[in-house]
Structures are given as structure tokens and as C-alpha cells.
Chain A
Amino acid sequence: MVVVPKTRKEMPVTTLSVPTIGSAGKTGFWRDFRPVMVELVSPCTYDCPANNRLPQIFEKIRDGKLEEAAKIFLETNPFPSITGRICPHFCEEHCNRSEYDEAVSIRSIERFLGDYILERKGEAGFHEISTEKGKKIGIIGSGPAGLSAAYYLRKMGYNVTIFESEEKPGGMLTYGIPPYRLPKQIVEKEVAALTKMGIEIKSGKTVGEDIKFEDVQKEFDAVLLAIGAWKERDIGISGEQLMMSGLEFLGEVNKGLMEPPGMDVAVIGGGNVSVDVARTLKRLKAKPSILYRRTEKEMPAISEEVTKAKEDGIEFHFLTQPVDASKKNGKIVLKCIRMRLGELDASGRRRPIPIEGSQFTLEFDAVIKAIGEGPDTTWIPKKFLNEGGWMKVDSATGVVGENLFAAGDLISGPATVVEAIAAGRRTARSINQYLRGEEIRPEVPLEKPVKIEGINIEYYEPKERAKASELPPEERTKSLDKEETSGISLEKVQDEAHRCFSCGYCRACDICWIFCPDGSVDLENGGKPEFDYDYCKGCGICSNECPCGVIIMEREEE
């Protein structure tokens, strides 16, 4: 090796140069901007009520590390096997990939991972439980909010007891959602796993009847009310007593009822309960019709379910408002009025306005109403209620007062399962803060998500999203409990994970490294870039090329 010379005598006779890092000194000072790697919020995480960290989960799937993927999932949602089946997948709604070709099949991945978890839930070490805290928490209601809170509180090391007035735990999961959407054994397995974690579930115990509410409050260090919203609202018309409640009907079916209340059945309402009722009726060989006062566009039900209902052959009467119900010759005669849509109302939908003189009548064997549900708070001490009979609660933290907390449909009104799960988790967090004597602070809201403009889509090739196979209508309507949507294979799950843009989350793709003209990107940190600011000239190629939008250029201080 030639020694780098200092004097003439040390110089070789010709210009031999020695390979050296920084041959002309450090080039970092050329830079006006420096690349910095950041972690930003993806639209899917942002839109998911539980804020599931999907890009992080998909990274693990791409790496073939399913267990690690599952663990990240469980940090925000303990029941992906359930949400992976029935969630309206808000996450897919603004998936940046949908602006390129199609959204990533996030829910299908979730279902796959949920089932993966479910198979292993019994395994030791899957759910690590923190040091026992020696404090007791009572949860009233075993629906998704209650179960979710129980899971997180138990993981934190609390003793958790759930009171459930029904025979089986699960609430809406067990008694509301029909089995063709959510097989009951899934719920049973999830519940069994919770019991295995040491959560006690007292079924058939109605607080306020079997046990005094005050006693529960006294016995437990903290009490969570998660009783849901089961009370059907009234339409406010005469003859309403002739109608069944939609949730009650679903409850009966889930308990074993196999007979429809009649052949021609009207289902009033445009929400999920209404659609579930109608589709269940169809499977009981009835001929259901949905009556809704607005149009399909305004239906609050999951649009996928509406589409399926139509495929199932369910008749829809839009812009139809019943104004009177009466019984005649064993039939229920519904007097209806035709509606038109007016200005936007508070919900952002166009208000239905009756068209004068447009009355008409319809005849049914039975009528089921499902126009909205509210919580039954009649048994709760008045001091916790407001004038409308709703809980006095800080919805961000679930704090009610004293040692009482509330979560789920009880405070939000009827919402999705994932919202209840998220509420359960957030309230568990509040309870923990409360029991530790800390200030109870809500979760910090997420920053706005990354838009597609921040993603370099050049590194993705168009690829159809993996579609879960669906039973055809003629097949699926034959059975009430045959699951109509199936899962996707591991291979497809991995394909989908690869389709994911990983918005705002470094996917360790090495693209910044390969294109750095200065070779100043290090990947020693798990393949994620670290920049050598001694030599990086700040050209910004890494930032421009990043397929996840996680490298930003920050101006150097003078």
C-alpha cells in the first residue's frame, strides 16, 4: 500500500492516489436541506376508529413475521377475527392505493390475522400480562366495548369481572349480528381466550336486578358501564305496537328462532339492524321489504350489506315513510307517504320532506322496525344521567364520575363494533390512569394522514386487489349460519401487504440507498435509512423517490 506522502521524498514518482473516504474533505457542508426520516400517519390508521397501525402490521407480514404482525394488531384491537369479518372497513375508504388502482384488502388481511391469532390465543406467552396490580375492575356488559376494555385492563394486570345479563357473553356480537356474517363460534373462541387470561364473566347476572349497582360500585375499584344501546326507538305513529323491534327479532333468531313472523315482512329503517333483519328474514324463507324514508345513498347501513341485500332479492321502498299501522284481515296495513329530499340536515344528509297527497298503503304479514336504538339507562342512578336520560360522560375519556366509566354504544348511540372496541380500549386507558392516580388525559389525536402526492407510486405496479370469495345469492340465502364471505390465503395476504403503499411508514425498501449519488445512506438500523450528514449533499433524491413518503427535506440552519 502506498503511504499518503507529506514530503517530496515520500512521494511516489507518479500520481498514485489512495482510496479514502472524504477524498476532498467532508461534503456535508454543501447542503442546504437535510433528509430526515419521519413516521407519518397513514389514511388507513387515521380512518380506523381503533387506529390500527396497519402499515406496521403489513411490514411484518411482508417479512413473513405473522406473530409480530399479530402482536401489533392486538395493541389496538383485541378481536381482529371479528372486525376482520364485519367491520365496514373505514380503513379502505381513503386508502391511497385506491387512487392508483384499488384499495388494499385490509379487512381480509385483518380476518386472516384474526384467525391466525384465534388459533394461538390459548398459547402461553401470546398475551403477556403485566405484573398483577391487585385492583379489581367491574365491567357491566360483555359486548365489544366491554370485552375490549376487559382485555386491555387484564393485560395491564387488573382483576376484571364482567357482568352480563344474557345467558351468553358477547352482546351485539352474539345476539345482534347474524351468524352468516359472524359465526358464533368465533365469538365463543374470543370469549374463551379472555377467560383463559383470567377474566371472570358472570353471565345471566343483571346489574340493577340481581346485584345492586351501588354494591358493584363499592366492590370494585373502578366500574365500566358498557351496556350498549338495545332499546328500539319509536317512530311515533299510531299502531306502532303492532311492530316488532329489529334487535329483539335478531336476538330471538340468534337464540334459535327459525320461523319468520310471516311471509311478507316490512322492515322499517335504513341502518345496519334493518338490513341484518331483512337478510335474516330472507334466510328464514320470508319475503322482506325494506322501507326507508330517504334514498339508498343516504342509508346509514354498510353499503356492502345494502348491495348484498339487493342481490339477495330484498325489495326496497325508498322515500317511503309509514304514517299509520293497523291490522286488517290478519294483515298489517301500513299507510305510507311518499317523501322527497330537501336541504342538508345536521347529519349532512338531505332531509326527507313528505309530499302532500302522496299517501298509499302497503300490506304485510308482519312489520319490524329498526329505525335506531338507544341505551336503556332507567336503572342507572340519576346523578349520572342528563335530562335526556343519557350518561353524563366525557366521551373522549369515558369518565363519568366517582369510580364510574362508560364506553361504547351506551354513550355514542348505535355505532360499529370497531368503534365500540376502540372506545373500550380508550376507556381502559383512562381507568388505568385513574387507578394509578394520574391525570386522566384522552389519547392525542393523530396528525392528518399522508396523501397520495407524498407517495412515489412509480415503485408499484398495478395489481388487482385480492377479493374474498362470496357465496352467490342463491347459495347464501339457503342458510342462516353458513358464512357467506370467506377468507383469503396467506399468499394473497402477502400480495396485499406488498400492494400496500406503506404510507408514512418506512418499508425498508432500500430505494433511498440505491439512488443516493453520495452513498450516504446507511441501512444498518433494520434496513431503515440513516443519513451520513458528514457527506450527504442534500440533493433530495431519497425524498423524491421514497415510495412511502417518509423522507422529508428540512432546511439547514445557517
Chain B
Amino acid sequence: MAQTVIDTANHIAAYAAKAARVQVVAAYPITPQTSIVERIAELVESGEFDAEYIRVESEHSAMAACMGAAATGVRTFTATASHGLVLMHEPLHWASGSRFPIVMPVVNRALGPGWNIWADYNDSMSQRDTGWIQFYCADNQEVFDTIIQAYKLCENERVLLPAMICLEAFILSHTYLPVKIPDQEKIDEFLPPYKPKWFLDVNNPLSHANIVSPEWYMEFRYMMQEAMENAKQLIPEIDKEYGKYFGFEHGGLIDKYECEDADLILLTMGTIGSEAKITVDNLRKEGLKVGSARVRVFRPFPKEEIRKLAENTQMFAIIDRGISFGMEGFLAEETKSSLCNQKDQPLIAGFIAGLGGRDVTFKTIEKIARKSAEWMRRGRVEKETVWVDLRK
């Protein structure tokens, strides 16, 4: 029987790992991820979760250990945040290049200095080129569902890439929300055991990650790009299939709300996307044709869907909880890049909001929407990137 629990996203992530029948967990604690590894420790030690849990001495080693386990052919899990993720940067590349289907919740937290433990996307955004698939979640149910979906996706032979399941610090990680946890039997049916095509095997002694000369290297990079393209195709399919199994879908690559006739679309990620729906409802009452499109998958980037949205709208208001210094918000950047060479492009305004855990409520978003609507009416974006609620 499916059961509904009310718990934090972090605990939910731990349950998802258990539900996915993860075999090896290697993790290192970091605020605000700690309650994931704590709950896993409890589950493993109580015997509820039959996994090997390696209490490594750093995030770098967490990923290195996950790679060792994945190379040996088992389903592998870790979780981290912020500085931990950044410390992992090197093994992240090695993991994706090795095509290990590791799944890793990232509790998005600001990078120092100074120490800040609150929500911010700069940690995972700065890992966007590591070859990892990146999901960004808007609620606890999505966290659970995406972890299960991610294993199915990552272990698919056409993909074989690792995935980050990003969730914002405290807003989700420590917030109790009801989550429906499906029957284990049904999960097992949806997600069969991991059967790797190759692994470290004394009966088939291959060397993994040997030296690769220029005459071969590019092909491997090309195949990673191919895998990303395949993932882009498979994510909506898996999401739909999951919906059929368990009743929840999360919008595939982009979770769209009231976008069909929208003149202005609020392009967001994560929980800002949840708040944006309230804003949409409020502004629709005023007659403003606003829609919300929450980008759920940042890598592979849903270029085609963005273009489709752009065809029927006049303007994108893009809200980023992160900044690529010297340029602009990440989502804004990618959106603009997606529209290059397209006819009849909508106006695009970028908004930087909520860095280091500053609140972004539906009211903040309303402010953003109204400003955008004003520029839309004038047919001109006055400021390409606006820092929202910035002190004078």
C-alpha cells in the first residue's frame, strides 16, 4: 500500500534511495544536506535499508568511492551541497566521463565567503558543464519521484550518465510536506535492478579510464553529448510512465502552467516556480495573461521546448537564484542562447533574486511580473538584468 508521509525533502531523499534499492551509499555530511545522510545511517543501521554505507572523509572521496562502487556494477547514491559539491568538481567530470549512473541529491546552498547556509543555485550551476544531468525540484514529492525516475533514466543504456537532483536549502530540505510513497513492489517493477553492461570483472579483465589519445578523445565527448540528447528525449517519457504507475507527473523537462495563451511567461526553476503559480493565479484574476514555465531539467537544457514556448508568447521574465559573474543569470543565458537564430523572438528580461536564501515569495514574483508587463507593453526591456530587492 502506498503511504503518505509528512516529512522534509532531505528525509524523503533518504527514503527514495532506499526505495530505489541503492546498494552503496558514500557520503560526507554538510549543512544543509546532513539530514539525508543521518536518515540513511539510521535506516542502514536498523536494517531497513540494505546498503553498504561508506562514511567517507570528504565529498571528493564520496564521489570517488561512488565511482569505485559504480565501476563494480552496483547502484550508487550520494548527496551533498554547496562547498561539498564544489570540492567534488574533479570527480564529477570523471564520473560522467566514466558513464557511471550515480544519482546525487544536491541541497542547493550558497557558496562562501562568508559562510551562508541558505538557498542559492550557484553551487550546482557552476557544475553545469561536468556532464551531469541536472534536475531541479519544486516540492518534496518531486524530490522522491525524481530520484526514482533518475535511476531509470541514468541506467538506460542510451544515457549512462549521472544525475544531480537539486533541491533548495531549507525551503525544501528542512520543510515538512506530505509525500506519497508508492508500494515498494511497484517501484521495483518500475525500476528493475541495475544490470550494467560492463563492470570490474576478474573474468573479463578490462581497464577502465585508460589514457585516451587525441585520436579517440573527441568521440567519447561526442557520445556524452549524444547521451544528453537521448536523455532529453527519455525524461518526458519516463515522467509519463512514472505518472501512469504512481499518479504523479512533474512536467517532463518543463513544468508549464497557464502558458497556452500567456503573453508573459515567468521562466523559473525550483520552488520559485511553485510560488510563480500563485502569482499567475493572482495576476490572471486581474486579467493579465501570465503563465509560468518551471524549467525542471537544466542539463540537458530543453532548448526545443523553450523555442516552442517562445513561439506563442510576447515576453519571458526569467528569474535566476544564481549569477554567472560577468554575464547574467544562468537560465536567462541558456534561454537566450536557445532562441538565437529564431524568428520573432519574445522580449526577455532577466531577474536575479533570492541569492543566499533571500526570500522570493509570490509577492516578489508579482513585482517582477508587473515590471515585465510594463516593459512588454512598451515593447522594450529597459534593463536586461535586474537584481531584485537589492539594497540601494
**Could you tell me which A residues sit within 8 Å of B by CB distance?**
1-2, 8, 11-19
Q: A13-B160, A14-B97, A19-B205 are in contact. Are A8 and B210 (CB under 8 A)?
A: no
The answer to whether B206 and A13 touch across the interface, beta carbons within 8 angstroms, is no
Q: Which residues of B contact A15 (CB under 8 A)?
A: 208-210, 212, 216, 220
The answer to whether A8 and B223 touch across the interface, beta carbons within 8 angstroms, is yes
Q: Mark B195-209, 1 if CB is under 8 A from A, else 0.
A: 001100000111111
State the CA gap A372–B227 with chains docked (Å): 102
State the CA gap A17–B206 with chains docked (Å): 6
The answer to whether A14 and B204 touch across the interface, beta carbons within 8 angstroms, is no
State the CA gap A546–B160 with chains docked (Å): 52
The answer to whether B209 and A14 touch across the interface, beta carbons within 8 angstroms, is yes
If over half of A's interface residues share one DSSP class (helix, strand or loop), that class is named, otherwise mixed; here it is: loop
Q: Which residues of A contact B99 (CB under 8 A)?
A: 13-14
The answer to whether B220 and A14 touch across the interface, beta carbons within 8 angstroms, is yes
Q: Which residues of A contact B212 (CB under 8 A)?
A: 15
Min Cβ gap A142→B in Å is 71
The answer to whether A13 and B223 touch across the interface, beta carbons within 8 angstroms, is yes
The answer to whether A11 and B207 touch across the interface, beta carbons within 8 angstroms, is no
B201-239 residues at the A interface, CB under 8 angstroms: 204-210, 212, 216, 219-220, 222-224, 227
Min Cβ gap B232→A in Å is 17
Q: Which residues of A contact B224 (CB under 8 A)?
A: 13
Q: A12-B198, A13-B99, A13-B160 are in contact. Are A18 and B206 (CB under 8 A)?
A: yes
Whether B98 is near chain A, meaning CB under 8 Å from some CB there, is: yes
The answer to whether B222 and A8 touch across the interface, beta carbons within 8 angstroms, is yes
Min Cβ gap B315→A in Å is 41
Q: Which residues of B contact A11 (CB under 8 A)?
A: 216, 219-220, 223
Who on chain B is nearest to A8 by CB? B219
Q: Which residues of A contact B220 (CB under 8 A)?
A: 11, 13-15
Sample of 18 more A-B contacts, CB < 8 Å, known A13-B224, A14-B198 = A2-B198, A2-B206, A8-B223, A11-B219, A11-B223, A12-B197, A13-B160, A13-B223, A14-B99, A14-B220, A15-B209, A15-B210, A15-B220, A16-B198, A16-B206, A16-B207, A17-B208, A19-B206
State the CA gap A13–B220 with chains docked (Å): 7
State the CA gap A11–B208 with chains docked (Å): 13
Q: Mark B170-198, 1 if CB is under 8 A from A, else 0.
A: 00000000000000000000000000011
The answer to whether A17 and B207 touch across the interface, beta carbons within 8 angstroms, is yes
The answer to whether A16 and B208 touch across the interface, beta carbons within 8 angstroms, is yes
Who on chain A is nearest to B206 by CB? A16
B345-374 residues at the A interface, CB under 8 angstroms: none
Min Cβ gap B66→A in Å is 16
Q: A2-B198, A11-B219 are in contact. Are A17 and B204 (CB under 8 A)?
A: no
Q: Which residues of A contact B197 (CB under 8 A)?
A: 12
Q: Which residues of B contact A14 (CB under 8 A)?
A: 97-99, 160, 198, 208-209, 220
State the CA gap A145–B379 with chains docked (Å): 126
Q: Which residues of B contact A13 (CB under 8 A)?
A: 99, 160, 220, 223-224, 227
Q: Which residues of B contact A8 (CB under 8 A)?
A: 219, 222-223
A-B contact pairs, 16 of them (CB 8 A): A8-B222, A11-B216, A11-B223, A13-B220, A13-B223, A14-B98, A14-B99, A14-B208, A14-B209, A15-B209, A15-B210, A16-B207, A16-B208, A17-B206, A17-B207, A18-B206
State the CA gap A15–B198 with chains docked (Å): 11
Q: Which residues of A contact B198 (CB under 8 A)?
A: 2, 12, 14, 16
Q: Which residues of A contact B160 (CB under 8 A)?
A: 13-14
State the CA gap A188–B210 with chains docked (Å): 76
Min Cβ gap B124→A in Å is 24
Q: Which residues of A contact B97 (CB under 8 A)?
A: 14
Who on chain B is nearest to A12 by CB? B198
Q: Which residues of A contact B210 (CB under 8 A)?
A: 15, 17
Who on chain A is nearest to B218 by CB? A8
Q: Which residues of A contact B206 (CB under 8 A)?
A: 2, 16-19
Report the 8 A-B pairs with minimum CB-CB distance, sorted nearest first. Answer: A17-B210, A17-B207, A14-B99, A16-B206, A8-B219, A13-B223, A13-B99, A15-B212
Min Cβ gap A323→B in Å is 92
Q: A15-B209, A16-B198, A17-B210 are in contact. Are A1 and B204 (CB under 8 A)?
A: yes
State the CA gap A271–B160 with chains docked (Å): 94
Min Cβ gap A478→B in Å is 74
Who on chain A is nearest to B226 by CB? A13
Min Cβ gap B231→A in Å is 13
State the CA gap A14–B216 with chains docked (Å): 11
Q: Which residues of A contact B223 (CB under 8 A)?
A: 8, 11, 13
Min Cβ gap A11→B in Å is 6
Min Cβ gap A10→B in Å is 10
Q: Which residues of B contact A2 (CB under 8 A)?
A: 198, 204, 206
Most buried by B among A15, A16, A17, A19: A15
Q: Mark B71-98, 1 if CB is under 8 A from A, else 0.
A: 0000000000000000000000000011
Min Cβ gap B213→A in Å is 10
Who on chain A is nearest to B217 by CB? A15
Q: Which residues of A contact B209 (CB under 8 A)?
A: 14-15
State the CA gap A14–B207 with chains docked (Å): 11
Min Cβ gap B201→A in Å is 11
Min Cβ gap A82→B in Å is 62
Min Cβ gap A467→B in Å is 54
Q: Which residues of B contact A1 (CB under 8 A)?
A: 204
Q: Mark B55-78, 1 if CB is under 8 A from A, else 0.
A: 000000000000000000000000
B85-140 residues at the A interface, CB under 8 angstroms: 97-99
State the CA gap A1–B209 with chains docked (Å): 17
Q: Which residues of A contact B219 (CB under 8 A)?
A: 8, 11
Q: Which residues of B contact A12 (CB under 8 A)?
A: 197-198
Min Cβ gap B259→A in Å is 36
Q: Which residues of B contact A17 (CB under 8 A)?
A: 206-208, 210
Most buried by B among A1, A2, A11, A14: A14
Most buried by A among B97, B99, B206, B212: B206
State the CA gap A13–B198 with chains docked (Å): 11
Q: Which residues of A contact B207 (CB under 8 A)?
A: 16-17, 19
Who on chain A is nearest to B159 by CB? A13
Min Cβ gap B140→A in Å is 34
Who on chain A is nearest to B208 by CB? A16
State the CA gap A19–B209 with chains docked (Å): 13
Min Cβ gap A69→B in Å is 45
Q: Mark B135-178, 1 if CB is under 8 A from A, else 0.
A: 00000000000000000000000001000000000000000000
